[in-house]
Amino acid sequence: MATCTATGVAELDACAVHPLGSKARVLLSSVFGPYAQDDQYGSRSINPMELYHNQVTRVQGAFSLRMFHRSWGLMLLQANMDAPCRCLDFPTLDRFIEEIRRNRYDVVGIGAIIPNILKVRKMCELVRRYQPAATIVVGGHVAGVPDLQERVDADHVVRGDGVRWFRRFLGQAEDEPIRHPIIWSGFGRRTMGVNLPFRRRFTAATLLPSVGCPIGCDFCATSAMFGGKGRFVNFYETGDELFDVMCRLEKAMGVQSFFVMDENFLLHRRRALRLLELMEEHGKPWALYVFSSANALRSYTMEQLVALGVSWVWMGLEGKDSRYGKLHNTDTHRLVRRLQSHGIRVLGSSIIGLDEHTPENIDEAIDYAVSHSTEFHQFMLYTPSPGTPLYARLDSQGALLGTDEISEADVHGQYRFAHRHPHIPRGEETELLLRAFRRDLEVNGPSILRVVATTVAGWKRYKDHPNRRIAARFAWEVADVAAGSLGGVWAGRRLLRADSRLAARLDAVLRDAYAQFGLKARLLAPIVGRFLLWSARREAKRLARGWTYEPPTFYESNVELDLHTDAPGPKPKLCRFVEPTAGRSRTAASPQRSGALAR
């Protein structure tokens, strides 16, 4: 067993080079499902494989936004391997067993988060049984568990940049330009009981510019995984490189929008502003959905954000009087209102269980978060993940709970603390967290309806903008409103009629939209709305009966030839990626260079 520690880049121990090099046959797999159930392997019904329903809209019933996201890390690894590689995403246990019984592999890579440690252990056992000659590599957040090597039977535990690690392990040049996988931002989207149709023009491409974040907030597992404070890994160093790959994705996928999966995209200011120049020069009316800290956002003018196509932002609000440097001197209420007035939808993220929270002041903390009226609000328990400064502090204070006190499967931020809180008695945090979600719903209404008001506000402001590129982007943003989204508001107005304040708010949204979109909207909203009213009621009943969602299994290969199959069975699809322009190199583990922004 070798553990390859990382400070932004996974360091490779000298012996960790596979003898077959790029001829090694590789299987990459995510952990097995089903996920939204309670079982002995650590699946939990409150921890489904759904980003939004898991931690953002979980109490919003039929209005909850249901959607799955692929295991982007595995897809990135596969696209950047010369070795023949298959990727099995969201297998069942039986499907995983079938795969390793039927095919010969030299390397099996498993990616997981910490709550799935028991699944990783089980999968390692199965690989040893069916593929005794295979090298087992484990990566992802689970690699941060300090004693992982004692708990799972893996040959290598890779922390940090797995692309670089695998390239070296398989005899490739590790500095080759990154090939970007083709990844749709989400799939299986559903709300109000309706499966939302897949339309490429309105579905975003996932874009992976960098990983990690140099700000290094004490609780941030992703920042810690790629080196922590002051460090990150750039896959695309310059605005030119990023623009190049975005053009290629646009062409290959027919998209107009990008879900920018970068922990703090706007912090890389020089790259973002160069991207803006190129978008302007080439007339790209793209929309970007980004993650950004408040201090990074504030370093741009609103004109720059709008011209860059920032359409949706996920921002950490953390907590009232937060000590986090990224929030110093920021009036987050004002910032959110300003963004919304320019049509930028906001997902605010708040922490329940900061050290200063008590049963007496938690309602004030929740009201503070809710008063931002963001379109979406994530609430997470203050959770020490291994590798983070928070984990180190609580460990030194002897405050961490042992695995005999809490199962790792329950440490996902939506159920229980993993430490003894200074003020909140053990077990009370679950209700406090739910209280926050419920209060947000009660005050602000269903998220998917909040989005409509901000989208219309943006369109009103920019529909006649002299820059045609900007006006075109807002026209694209609003294209669905008159046809479909207003029907959701119409139905929501009826479902929520008992709440006169929310009903009045939705009435105002409808009046405003009718005034903007005229007869078409007036006619369509009640027609679509009646159907959604019926389907949302039916959905509510299904959910009350315990209905859950599971993602399908994906099976993809990076080579067309079936190189290593022993028996007939499912054929993998060919994975797709875009090549970068030749001659450009990647940068790994760049020291942060954003000066005043990173604290």
Q: Report the interface residues with ligand SF4, using CB under 6 A.
A: 213, 215-217, 220, 222-223, 263-264, 293, 316, 326
Residue positions counted in the chain: 599
| Three-state SS at 289 | strand
User: By C-beta, is 571 or 593 nearer to ligand SF4?
Assistant: 593
User: By C-beta, is 365 or 521 nearer to ligand SF4?
Assistant: 365
**C-alpha distance across the termini of the chain, in Å:** 36
User: By C-beta, is 344 or 478 nearer to ligand SF4?
Assistant: 344
Least spacing, CB of residue 153 vs ligand SF4, in Å: 32
Radius of gyration of the chain (CA): 24
3-state secondary structure string across 10-58: ECCCCCCCCCCHHHCCEEEEECCECCCCCCCCCCCCCCCCCHHHHHCCC
Least spacing, CB of residue 196 vs ligand SF4, in Å: 28
Least spacing, CB of residue 89 vs ligand SF4, in Å: 25
DSSP E strands, 276-422: 287-291, 310-318, 345-352, 376-381
Could you give the CA distance from residue 359 to residue 216 in angstroms, rounded to a whole number? 28
Least spacing, CB of residue 302 vs ligand SF4, in Å: 21
User: By C-beta, is 183 or 213 nearer to ligand SF4?
Assistant: 213
Could you give the CA distance from residue 537 to residue 526 in angstroms, rounded to a whole number? 16
Torsion sign (Cα): 580, 210, 577, 163? positive
Least spacing, CB of residue 220 vs ligand SF4, in Å: 3
Least spacing, CB of residue 291 vs ligand SF4, in Å: 7
Q: Which residue has the tokens 């023949």?
A: 84
Least spacing, CB of residue 580 vs ligand SF4, in Å: 25
* Contact (CB, 8 A) for 218 and 228: no
| Three-state SS at 557 | strand
User: By C-beta, is 66 or 326 nearer to ligand SF4?
Assistant: 326
Could you give the CA distance from residue 550 to residue 71 in angstroms, rounded to a whole number? 14
* Contact (CB, 8 A) for 324 and 316: yes
User: By C-beta, is 327 or 513 nearer to ligand SF4?
Assistant: 327
User: By C-beta, is 126 or 390 nearer to ligand SF4?
Assistant: 390
Could you give the CA distance from residue 366 to residue 320 in angstroms, rounded to a whole number? 9
How many Å separate Cα 492 from the centre of its chain? 27
User: By C-beta, is 143 or 409 nearer to ligand SF4?
Assistant: 143
Least spacing, CB of residue 435 vs ligand SF4, in Å: 23
